[in-house]
Amino acid sequence: MRYFTQGLGELDPGRKDLLLDIATEELSHLEVIGSIVAMLNKGVKAELSEAAMEEADLYLSINAGGNSHTQSILYGGGPALTNSSGVPWTAAYVDTKGDPTCDLRSNIAAESRAKVVYERLINITDDPGIKEALGFLMTREIAHQKSFEKALYAIEDNFPSGKLPGIERYANIYVNTSQGDGDMEGSWNTGEQWDRIDDLEKTMPMDNGDGSATVNLDTAMTSAVEKLSIRTASDPSTDFTTGADLGAGPGRLDHRR
């Protein structure tokens, strides 16, 4: 769905073709996964429908072939659009942004994550047929990642994403906020490309302000804020007995005792 929405909104004919091709192939992957789920649950589907097993054995069986007993009881052992915890799929998973450099990077990351998940699935099954199918799907994720990377680098100005450039005075600053033991240097924070800040007290705030968040309010709002501040002010000199004090049991910490 991510690749379809990107492809349908794409202006570049090459990327449109690429995205719709891969989107269509991914639907065939859905068929492969769905078929695997259906085959793994084929036996328990019949046993559940016909009550052919004792209760304890049946319960063990319905948890063996899917993500949970929900897979068998609610969906009759068939494939369902849920995650491994039984949560239904949602279109909120689709994060198309409409900017090709942003979306292609997201696609590359998605293919990388999928490849790793397939590896883990391969490692926990001893079924040779499933291993073969998952190995094919894992390898296709590698091919898709290569295609998306080629498409990304075919865009001459592909970094940063979007149209607006970064604010020049901040674009190459590295703020070394973690110092002492474990402080490391590398190409990500050291070299000619970076304006590195180590002395935080000397350089912060970076905009030469006082570091406070400020806002300008009109007279009416300022008056309302002042009244609210007075009404909700705390008195640090008080120490009332609270419900937490009254309900404290053995082992309570009571500095007044």
Rounded to two decimals, the pTM is 0.74
> Is residue 8 predicted with pLDDT exceeding 80?
yes
CATH number for region 2-41+78-153: 1.20.1260.10
Please give the average per-residue pLDDT across 60-66, as a whole number.
54
How many whole angstroms from its chain centre is CA 90?
14
pLDDT at 80: 80
pLDDT at 74: 67
Contact 43/37 with Cβ under 8 angstroms?
A: no
Q: Which of 41-45, 91-95, 147-151, 158-162 has the lowest mean pLDDT?
A: 41-45
Task: Locate the DSSP E strands across 64-203.
Answer: 173-175, 195-197
Centre a 10 Å sphere on the Cβ of residue 18 and count the other Cβ atoms it contains: 23
Residue 174: phi and psi, rounded to 5, are: -115, 120
pLDDT grade for 67, boundaries at 50, 70 and 90:
low
Helix then strand count (H, E) for the chain reads 11, 2
Contact 72/82 with Cβ under 8 angstroms?
A: no
Percent of the chain with pLDDT over 70: 83
**pLDDT (tens digit per residue) in 215-233:** 999 999 999 999 999 999 9
Average pLDDT, the chain: 86
Domain ranges of the chain: 2-41+78-153, 168-203
Torsion angle, alpha carbons of 137, 141, 147, 149, to 10: 180
Q: At what angle do helices 128-153 and 100-123 cross, to 10 degrees?
A: 160
Please give the average per-residue pLDDT across 33-60, as a whole number.
69
> Is residue 124 predicted with pLDDT exceeding 80?
yes
| Residue 113 in tokens | 């994550």
Task: Locate the DSSP E strands across the chain.
Answer: 173-175, 195-197
Q: Which of 39-53, 64-78, 131-145, 217-231 has the lowest mean pLDDT?
A: 64-78
- Which class for 30: exposed (0-12), middle (13-18), buried (19 or more C-beta within 10 A)? exposed
Please give the average per-residue pLDDT across 186-207, as a whole number.
88
Q: For residue 175, what are the β-bridge partners? A: 197
pLDDT at 56: 47
DSSP per-residue letters across 95-135: ---S-HHHHHHHHHHHHHHHHHHHHHHHHT---HHHHHHHH
Measured distance CA(105)–CA(124) in Å, rounded: 29
Residue (of 19, 4, 14) closest to 155 by Cα position:
14
Cβ-defined contacts of 7-11 (< 8 Å, 24+): 9/96, 9/98, 10/100
Measured distance CA(83)–CA(88) in Å, rounded: 7
